[in-house]
Amino acid sequence: QVHLVQSGAEVKKPGSLVRVSCTASGDTFNSYVISWVRQAPGQGLEWMGGIIPISGITKYAQRFQDRVTITADKSTRTAYMNLNSLTSEDTAVYYCARQLPNALTWFDPWGQGTLVTVSS
Partner 1 sequence: DIQMTQSPSTLSASVGDRVRITCRASQSISRWLAWYQQKPGKAPRLLIYKASTLESGVPSRFSGSGSGTEFTLTISSLQPDDVATYYCQQYNSYPYTFGQGTKLEIK
Measure the CA–CA gap between 120 and 106, rounded to whole angstroms.
36
Residue closer to partner 1, measured from CB, 35 or 78: 35
Alpha carbons within 13 A on the beta-carbon side of 16: 13
Measure the CA–CA gap between 23 and 79, rounded to whole angstroms.
6
State yes or no: residue 111 binds partner 1 (CB under 8 A).
Answer: yes
Residue closer to partner 1, measured from CB, 1 or 120: 1
Residue closer to partner 1, measured from CB, 10 or 110: 110
Binding marks (x or -) toward partner 1, 41..80, rule CB under 8 A? ---xxxx-----------x-xx------------------
Q: Which residues bind partner 1 (CB under 8 A)?
A: 35, 44-47, 59, 61-62, 95, 104-113
